[in-house]
Amino acid sequence: MASNLLNQIRASSSLIRRLRQRARCFTTTEGHRPTIVHKRSIDILHDPWFNKGTAFSMTERDRLDLRGLLPPNVMTSEQQIERFMVDLERLKVQARDGPSDPYALAKWRILNRLHDRNETMYYKVLIANIEEYAPIVYTPTVGLVCQNYSGLFRRPRGMYFSAEDRGEMMSMIYNWPADQVDMIVVTDGSRILGLGDLGVHGIGIAVGKLDLYVAAAGMNPQRVLPVMIDVGTNNEKLLKDPLYLGLQEHRLEGDKYLAVIDEFMEAVFTRWPHVIVQFEDFQSKWAFKLLQRYRNTYRMFNDDVQGTAGVAIAGLLGAVRAQGRPMIDFPKQKIVVAGAGSAGIGVLNAARKTMARMLGNNESAFDSARSQFWVVDAKGLITEERQNIDPDAQPFARKVNEASRQGLREGASLVEVVQNVKPDVLLGLSAVGGLFSKEVLEALKGSTSTRPAIFAMSNPTKNAECTPEEAFSVVGDNIIFASGSPFNDVDLGNGKVGLCNQGNNMYLFPGIGLGTLLSGSRIISDGMLQAAAECLAAYMTEEEVLTGAIYPKISSIRDITKEVAAAVVMEAIEEDLAEGYREMDARELRKLSKEEIVTYVQDNMWSPEYPILVYKKE
Ligand SMILES: NC(=O)c1ccc[n+]([C@@H]2O[C@H](COP(=O)([O-])OP(=O)(O)OC[C@H]3O[C@@H](n4cnc5c(N)ncnc54)[C@H](O)[C@@H]3O)[C@@H](O)[C@H]2O)c1
Ligand SMILES: O=C(O)C[C@H](O)C(=O)O
Ligand SMILES: [Mg+2]
């Protein structure tokens, strides 16, 4: 398929040559005569007569207030045409290119064009068909979009800050046309889903997350901003690709990296002091450090660390209830976690704290909760014998004699760990597709649980640790299954269905953002995140959970988000963090009952309706 595609692309090279000649003619004849424009900034990008897209030179970008509104790499018109042709040929050869939906990317293009033309209509379509289109604008298709971004790029969306913009960000931020921004999703593209370093092309994930902020949380689309901070890439393919849209240098490290992120944070909070910044898909190495650096001074959170943790907790509590046991039995669960990155460690910390709270909320409870977890990473089981252990994983390293009593040792394989521990839960956040092999799933049949739970949470689809078919067919009908990306339920025969839950942070981040906005809390506390997770856990009824449904259906995401946001507002009030929002000041907020808070949230959710427009001279 790939060589076929290359041949087709080569066959079209004569057309590219002809187009190049034409493009050269255009620049030489027009180059001397300047064209007077009466527009600047985004209005130029949206005007087909004047727009040059990525071909605007740096001086033009400065002159026309375009800095930050385009990816950093300036392209020639030849390169632009080449990118377009590569994409066109790819579509011809490979229209069937979706992960589970053969036409996923084609659907994304059509939706994206609508997004460019008519935002109200776009969100109307998205909200009305959220079950069908969430997998297109969000996980898993958004992963494919990022991987093919160079070809798919048409009209820029969001802002780009690059390592080359140091010292300029404070003025660049004013190039964004909206006076008010409520929500920013920012990435540095270093770990996009389970696809690794996609550099500047990772902006797609920020756009996708914000689509859910609008569709699920009713954030106003005119007040959201996707941001890519381009500090280079360590992806060798992109470094060599002439059509790559980002900086072609290795990633900044250490203090230089921090200085860029610091400057960005200062710029956005100077222009919009009440904005909320969601950090998305930063490699683990920076995810924790940046969270600690900013969380007590800025309104920010890390979705992969904190959003995922909350969703996992809700699912883990659901899995306990699905065994017909009370939630309070959670601290007895034996949990094997595969993956000790930003997501895995986030889940482990939150699960340990939840257990400790149930066991009396003191130091000894916190200490003993630790022994319920076995963590396996790329080097196998993590014990205290691990050389150069990651400090974030250190608290979960098994004691050596404790491990050997269980027949385990440093670096033991996942199969050995599952065989010996016989866990209640096997949870994957490893980004390794198929990690829960037949052997691993066979070993899980020895689980001491009456209803073992499998969470294959890695994204996108091909990175899932196993499919629901594999899980149900090997381990048996009586399991709980959840995956990060959507899969269909499984027909188990005899009229029985194996439910596939979607365990994805999309059930929480929109509500965390909306609740924070409407409470006016200056920070996002652990308590607010915990309240969000508990609300999601409580959303599922006893009857639903007993059928194996531990997460709600995506079709109810707007309702879930409203409830989660209300829980976050209530907790912010409880912790005395709420400073109010617009005419609802802190005193008024404190007077509201629980029902009134839910109504307050609902009343502040934007819905896609056409407003009446009237022209007035300035
Ligand atoms: N479902 C969700 O809501 C959700 C949320 C966040 C992240 N994720 C997914 O989780 C995955 C990991 O994200 P991350 O930020 O933690 O990534 P990461 O790169 O920081 O961590 C990956 C971890 O997996 C470990 N690993 C690699 N190979 C392994 C193997 N063979 N066996 C066991 N462990 C192995 C690595 O050592 C590392 O600890 C990604 O696919 C991401 O899409 C899902
Ligand atoms: O983006 C998603 O689908 C979930 C999560 O944030 C991830 O990084 O995989
Ligand atoms: Mg993510």
* Domains of the chain with CATH codes: 2-298 (3.40.50.10380), 307-506 (3.40.50.720), 508-603 (no CATH)
Tens-digit pLDDT profile for residues 26-48: 443 445 678 888 888 999 898 87
Q: Is the CB of 501 under 6 A from ligand 1?
A: no
What is the spatial distance between Cα 513 and Cα 217, in angstroms, rounded to a whole number?
Answer: 8
Higher pLDDT, 377 or 99: 377
pTM of the model: 0.91
Q: Is the CB of 192 under 6 A from ligand 1?
A: no
Q: Are 589 and 578 in contact (CB under 8 A)?
A: yes
What is the spatial distance between Cα 282 and Cα 301, in angstroms, rounded to a whole number?
Answer: 12
End-to-end CA distance of the chain: give it in Å, rounded.
57
- Position 32 scores a pLDDT of 65
pLDDT at 21 over 70: no
Average pLDDT on 454-469 reads: 96
- Position 27 scores a pLDDT of 42
Query: Of 154, 2, 10, 4, which Cα lies nearest the Cα of 86?
Result: 10
Tens-digit pLDDT profile for residues 193-243: 999 999 999 999 999 999 999 999 999 999 999 999 999 999 999 999 999
Query: Of 296, 307, 384, which Cα lies nearest the Cα of 346?
Result: 307
209 assigned to active site: yes
Q: Is the CB of 304 under 6 A from ligand 2?
A: yes
**Atom 15 in ligand 1: which residue has the minimum CA distance?**
342
- Position 92 scores a pLDDT of 60
- Position 342 scores a pLDDT of 96
Q: Is the CB of 278 under 6 A from ligand 2?
A: no
Beta pairing partners, 185: 226, 278
pLDDT at 2 over 60: no
Query: What average pLDDT does the structure give for the chain?
Result: 92
pLDDT at 332 over 80: yes
Tokens for 452?
A: 């073992």
Q: From the CA of 343, give the closest atom in ligand 1.
A: 16
pLDDT at 333 over 80: yes
Higher pLDDT, 9 or 235: 235
Distance 183 CA to ligand 2 centre (A): 18
Query: Of 417, 400, 162, 100, which Cα lies nearest the Cα of 426?
Result: 417
**Beta strand 159-162 with 224-230: parallel, antiparallel or unpaired?**
parallel
Looking up tokens 């250490």 gives: 254
pLDDT at 1 over 80: no
Higher pLDDT, 27 or 143: 143
What is the spatial distance between Cα 88 and Cα 96, in angstroms, rounded to a whole number?
Answer: 14
> What ipTM does this complex have?
0.99
Lowest-confidence pick of 105-114, 228-237, 600-609: 105-114
DSSP 391-409: TTTGGGPBPHHHHHHTT--
Distance 349 CA to ligand 1 centre (A): 15
Distance 506 CA to ligand 2 centre (A): 8
User: Which residue among the candidates 122, 160, 209, 507 is catalytic per the annotation?
Assistant: 209
- Position 80 scores a pLDDT of 82
- Position 3 scores a pLDDT of 46
- Position 618 scores a pLDDT of 67
- Position 103 scores a pLDDT of 85
**Residue 331 vs residues 252, 371, 375, 454: alpha-carbon distances, Å:** 42, 10, 16, 18
Average pLDDT on 479-498 reads: 96
